[in-house]
Amino acid sequence: MKKLTCSIIVVMVLSIIISSYINIVKAVSTPHITYTSHVQEIGWQDYVQEGKQSGTSGKSLRLEGIRINLDNAGIGGSIEYCTHVQNISWQNFVGNDEVSGTSGQSLRLEAIRIRLTGEIATLYDIYYRVHAQEFGWLDWAKNGGESGTGGYGYRLEAIEIKLVKKGSQAPGSTTVPFHDATKEPYVAYSTQVQDIGWQSTLKNGRPAGTEGRGLRLEAIKIDINHNIMAGSIEYRTHVQNIGWQDWKRDGEIAGTVGYGYRLEGIQIDLTGEIKQKYDILYRVHVESIGWQDWKKNGEEAGTTGRELRLEAIEIKLEPKNGIIHGIDVSSFQKTIDWANVKKAGVQFTMIRMGYRGYGISSDGTDGKLVKDSTYDYNISEATKYNIPVGVYFFSQAINEKEAIDEANFVIQNIKKYKITYPVAIDLEYSSSPTRTGRADALTKEERTRIAQAFCDTIKDAGYKPMIYTGKNFAIDNLEMDKLSHYDLWLAHYTGVTQDNPLEKPSNYTGNYTMWQYSSNGFVAGINGRVDMNISYKVY
Query: Would you place residue 471 in the very low, low, confident or very high pLDDT band (cuts 50, 70, 90)?
Result: very high
357-371 per-position pLDDT tens digit: 876 544 445 789 999
Same domain membership, residue 346 and residue 492: yes
Same domain membership, residue 131 and residue 88: yes
- Taking the CA of residue 378 as centre, how many other CA atoms within 13 Å lie in the half-sphere pointing to its CB? 31
Same domain membership, residue 384 and residue 305: no
Is residue 443 in a domain?
yes
Lowest mean pLDDT across 118-127, 167-176, 261-270: 167-176
Averaged pLDDT, 169-175: 82
478-502 per-position pLDDT tens digit: 999 999 889 999 999 999 888 778 7
Is residue 16 in a domain?
no
Lowest mean pLDDT across 392-406, 412-426, 494-508: 494-508
Same domain membership, residue 266 and residue 133: no
300, 319, 338: which is the final residue of a domain?
319
Is residue 358 in a domain?
yes
Asked whether 159 and 65 are in contact (CB, 8 A), the reply is no
Query: Which stretch of DSSP H or E encloses residue 18?
Result: helix 2-28
164, 180, 196: which is the final residue of a domain?
180
What pLDDT does residue 433 have? Answer: 56
The residue among 342, 431, 357, 344 whose CA lies nearest residue 388 is 342
What pLDDT does residue 25 have? Answer: 41
Same domain membership, residue 463 and residue 377: yes
What pLDDT does residue 172 have? Answer: 82
418-431 per-position pLDDT tens digit: 999 999 999 998 76
What is the full DSSP assignment across 333-368? G-S--HHHHHHTT--EEEEEEEEE-SS--TTS-TTS
Same domain membership, residue 309 and residue 201: yes
For residue 143, what is the DSSP state?
T
Asked whether 350 and 387 are in contact (CB, 8 A), the reply is no
Lowest mean pLDDT across 31-45, 81-95, 170-184, 290-304: 170-184
319, 337, 361: which is the final residue of a domain?
319
Asked whether 181 and 203 are in contact (CB, 8 A), the reply is yes
CATH (domain of 458):
3.20.20.80
Is residue 2 in a domain?
no
What pLDDT does residue 9 have? Answer: 55
Same domain membership, residue 256 and residue 173: no
Q: Of residues 221 and 434, which shows the higher confidence score?
A: 221
Give percent of the chain above pLDDT 70: 92
**Angstrom distances, CA of residue 130 to CA of 95, 217, 319, 429:** 20, 34, 20, 43
Is residue 332 in a domain?
yes
Lowest mean pLDDT across 16-25, 38-47, 72-81, 221-230: 16-25
Same domain membership, residue 239 and residue 154: no
Is residue 1 in a domain?
no
What pLDDT does residue 322 have? Answer: 62
Asked whether 174 and 142 are in contact (CB, 8 A), the reply is yes
Is residue 22 in a domain?
no
Query: Would you place residue 434 in the very low, low, confident or very high pLDDT band (cuts 50, 70, 90)?
Result: low
CA distance 458 to 406: 10
Same domain membership, residue 465 and residue 498: yes
Averaged pLDDT, 184-193: 93
Query: 349 - beta bridge partners?
Result: 327, 389
The phi and psi torsions of 81 (rounded to 5 degrees) equal -155, 155
- Taking the CA of residue 125 as centre, how many other CA atoms within 13 Å lie in the half-sphere pointing to its CB? 15
What pLDDT does residue 435 have? Answer: 61
What is the full DSSP assignment across 471-504? HHHHHHH--GGGSTTSEEEEE---S--TTSGGGS
Is the pLDDT at 68 greater than 90? The verdict is: yes
Same domain membership, residue 472 and residue 343: yes
Its domain, for residue 273, covers 187-319
CA distance 154 to 268: 24
297-328 per-position pLDDT tens digit: 999 999 999 999 999 999 998 877 667 899 99
Same domain membership, residue 211 and residue 160: no
What's the domain count of the chain?
3
AA identity, residue 455: C
Same domain membership, residue 376 and residue 274: no
Averaged pLDDT, 125-140: 91
Is residue 25 in a domain?
no
CA distance 223 to 43: 38
